[in-house]
Amino acid sequence: MVKWKVKAIQVGTINSNMSGVLHYIGEYRPVVLPIWIVAATDGKNKVLIDTGIDDLASVVAGPEPNCRQEKEEETLTALKKMMGWEPEEVNFIINTHLHFDHCGCNKYFKNARICVQKKEWESAHHPISSTAFLYYRPFFDKNAVPYFQWQFVEGETELMPGLAVIPTPGHTEGHQSVLINTEEGVLCVAGDIVTIADNINRNIEANIVVDAAKVYESFVRIRDRARLILPGHEFSVKNGAESGFPLID
């Protein structure tokens, strides 16, 4: 079975608090949440999982005033530094979902197919009102990404040997997570269905959900398939980490 190499790359931060990521259970201490993207390669393919934000000023003025990004954290700069990859070399992108901090730089990867659940793409264009502000259309609409660059999937799909997506709705209607076969075991790049590892390991949803029951069904689906996890904003992971990701209890 093909073993993939992965690297977690920090492309910004969001100032929050523990109550916000553990569904208001009373832990109010401030926390700085990294925005992660993941570069993965099997020695042939160059894959990105999520692409972070673009145009920080618009993000701060719009969906997330608490977002921060240093110059060296800009996606293309960080990718070049960490992997030596130019945007035209990336041949495949997987978006866990289409919120502003996960698809902002899709438009720079002109040679990549971009995989998303069909339901997520449709939901992003016609979101429910409570989460509409998180879908920043200039990052994913037809002016940013040509329609035929998208690859829509429906449900669990192996995209390449040792690399698969599974539906993990709850945070959004069409959210997906990515399973990667690594030397340490199967890693789940969870997007925001698991904001931090405590969500799944303490069985507590985060604060932004569209369907709480589906969150817990998604936790079960991840537990059944993966040994390790990289949540979308896990703060215990070091920038550039290639191993040692949190274990799933």
pLDDT for the residue numbered 25: 73
Average model confidence (pLDDT) across the chain: 96
Q: For the chain, list the domains and their CATH numbers.
A: 5-231 (3.60.15.10)
User: pLDDT tens, 183-206?
Assistant: 999 999 999 999 999 999 999 999
Q: Is residue 23 scored above 90 in pLDDT?
A: no
Distances (CA, A) of 172 to 66, 124, 231: 21, 9, 15
105 within 8 A of 51, measured Cβ to Cβ = yes
Structure tokens at 36: 């992660």
Q: Could you give the CA distance from residue 140 to residue 121 in angstroms, rounded to a whole number?
A: 9
Give the closest residue to 189 by CA, choosing from 97, 77, 124: 97
Banded pLDDT at 207 (limits 50, 70, 90): confident
CB of 33 closer than 8 Å to CB of 195: yes
Name beta bridge partners: 113: 92
Tell me how far apart the alpha carbons of residues 166 and 239 are, in angstroms, rounded to a whole number: 25
Confidence of residue 79 (pLDDT cuts 50, 70, 90): very high
Question: Does the pLDDT of residue 110 top 90, yes or no?
Answer: yes
Task: Evaluate if pTM is beyond 0.95.
Answer: yes
> Residue 26 pLDDT > 70, yes or no?
no
